[in-house]
Amino acid sequence: MNLEQKHNVYFVGIGGIGMSAIARYFTAQNKNVAGYDKTPSQITAGLEQAGISIHFEDKIQNIPIAYLDKKSTLVIYTPAIPKNSEELNYFKNNNFTLLKRAEILGEITKSTFCLAASGTHGKTTTSSMLGHIMQLEKATSFLGGVAENYNSNLILGEDKITVVEADEFDRSFLQLSPNIACVTSMDADHLDIYGEASSLEESFVVFSQKVSDTLIVAKGLPLEGLTYAVDEPADYKAYNLKIKEGTYVFDVQTPTSSIQNIELHLPGKHNVMNALAALAMADVYGVSLEKIKVQLASFKGVKRRFSYKVKTKDLVLIDDYAHHPTEINAVESSIREMYPNEKVLAIFQPHLFSRTKDFVDDFALALSKFDEVILLDIYPAREEPIPNVTSEWLLSKISSKQKKIAEKKNIIKDIKQSSAKIVAMLGAGDIGVLINEVTDQLLNLQENEV
C-alpha cells in the first residue's frame, strides 16, 4: 500500500493509547487526521490540542466530508471497536482502505530497522526505556503508555529506526517484522481472545520466528534467544543490586563486556528486569553501555506505572495500571520494598468480566497481600456482563480482614477513614481518570488542614 497517496487518515477508536500514538505520527507527517472515540479523555484532549478533529458519537454524519473520499482516505480501527459500529460498517461496506492498528504499525515500520518489546507484562515500560535510549539514534518510538520524559506515547525521530510496543492482544504483534525483539513474559492473559494459555504461548513462538536478527528473552521462557536475568547466570545478568535512597544501583554483565553502577529510579525488581531487556536490545543494536547507563539514570518512568500522585509524610498515593494478578503482585512487592513497615490500602477496579472470571482465585491471592482492600465494580470495556461474575464474588474470595465494595463517589471518604499511609489505586479502566479527581481533592484537603 502506498501511504503517500493517502492524504487523510481517519481513526475509529482514536482515544486508545496505541491508536493515539499513530494519530500523532501521521499529524507530524502532515496528513489530515480526524477520528471518533466513545468518550472524551485526557488522551483525546491532547489530540485535539494538536489540531486533530474528534467527535464522540458513532454516526456517519459526524465524519468530516473530506474523509468520505475513499481514494485519499485511509481508515484505521482498533479491534476493541464493537462489530455493530455505524462508522466502521460504513467504511467496510463502501470499500475504503481499512487497516487495524497493528497492520498500519507493520506498514510504517517494515521499511525501518525495527526494535520490538513484547510480553504479557513489562512491555510498555521496556519499550519506553528503549525509546528513551534509542532517541540518541534518532529512532521514532510508538509506545503503549505515556513516557514521563516526553509526556507522550510517541517519541518522534527520523524514519530509519523504530521502537514499538508489540502487543499480543488480538495477535496484533504478528503484523510486525522486527529486527531485534525481546519477550519479557508469557503469563496467561487475554483468554477471551486465545481461549487457552497454550494458544497464547504459541503466538509468542510465531512472533519469535518473525524476528530477523536477534531475539532476547527473560530467562526461563520456552523460547530460543539471548537470555537476561537478575542474580542468576544469563547472557545479560544484573547483579550487586543495592537500594540507595529509593534508587536501584546495579552492575550488568553482557556477553562481551560489563558495566558498573547503573542507576534506575523506578521501584521493583521487575523494573530492573525491564531495564535489563532494554539495555540488551540497545547493546545488540550497537549503543555503547556508557550511553545506555546515562539514559537509564535519566528515565522518569511511564504514567500509570507506579506513579506517585501524592507523596507527603502522612500519605502516599500510587497510581498503577495493574490489571492482571502478576502485575498486582509486582506493585505489592514494590510497595513493601519501599515502605516495609507501613499499612497499605489497595483500591482495585477489575477490568473485563472474562479476565475476572479466568483469574478470580489469582486476583484474590494477590489482593489478599494488602492490609486493606476496596473493590470498585468491574469495568466492562468491550464486554457484556457474565452472570455471577461480580466484584462481590471476587471480594468473597479475598482473605484480608478489612475489605469492602465501594462506589467511586465515596472513595475520598474511604481513604480518609483508613489508617493506611500508603494507598495504591490499581486497574486499567476509568480508575485512571478517577485518580486525578482523588489526587486533586486529597491535595486540597491537605492544604486546608495546614
pLDDT, tens only, 46-99 = 999 999 999 999 999 999 999 999 999 999 999 888 889 999 999 999 999 999
| Residue 237 predicted with pLDDT over 70 | yes
- More confident position, 199 or 156: 156
Contact (Cβ atoms closer than 8 angstroms) between residue 136 and residue 299: no
Rounded CA separation 156/211 (Å): 24
Cα 289–292–297 angle (5° rounding)? 125
pLDDT, tens only, 329-387 = 999 999 998 888 999 999 999 999 999 999 999 999 999 999 999 999 999 987 899 99
**Cβ of 382: how many Cβ atoms within 10 Å?**
12
Rounded CA separation 78/32 (Å): 19
Rounded CA separation 396/391 (Å): 9
pLDDT, tens only, 6-55 = 999 999 999 988 899 999 999 999 999 999 999 888 899 999 999 999 99
pLDDT, tens only, 105-120 = 999 999 999 999 999 8
Which pLDDT score, from 0 to 100, does residue 197 have? Answer: 62
What is the average per-residue pLDDT within 135-163?
95
pLDDT above 90 coverage of the chain, percent? 78
Could you give the angle at which helices 325-338 and 269-285 cross, rounded to 10 degrees? 110
pLDDT, tens only, 167-217 = 876 677 899 999 999 999 987 554 555 556 677 788 899 999 999 999 999
Tell me the average pLDDT of the chain. Answer: 93
Which pLDDT score, from 0 to 100, does residue 88 have? Answer: 97
Torsion, Cα of 7, 11, 12, 18 (10° steps): 150
Q: What is the DSSP string of 255-277?
A: SS-EEEEEEE-S-SHHHHHHHHH
Confidence of residue 443 (pLDDT cuts 50, 70, 90): confident
Polymer length in residues for the chain:
450
pLDDT above 70 coverage of the chain, percent? 96
**Counting runs of H as helices and runs of E as strands, what totals does the chain give?**
15, 21
142: left (phi over 0), alpha (psi -120 to 50) or beta: beta
- More confident position, 445 or 149: 149
| Residue 427 predicted with pLDDT over 90 | yes
Residue 4 CB contacts under 8 Å (≥ 6 apart), including other chains: none
Contact (Cβ atoms closer than 8 angstroms) between residue 255 and residue 272: no
Burial class (CB in 10 A: 0-12, 13-18, 19+), 361: exposed
| Residue 246 predicted with pLDDT over 80 | no
All structural domains of the chain, each given as residue ranges with its CATH number in brackets, are: 3-103 (3.40.50.720), 110-297 (3.40.1190.10), 307-449 (3.90.190.20)
Contact (Cβ atoms closer than 8 angstroms) between residue 201 and residue 241: no
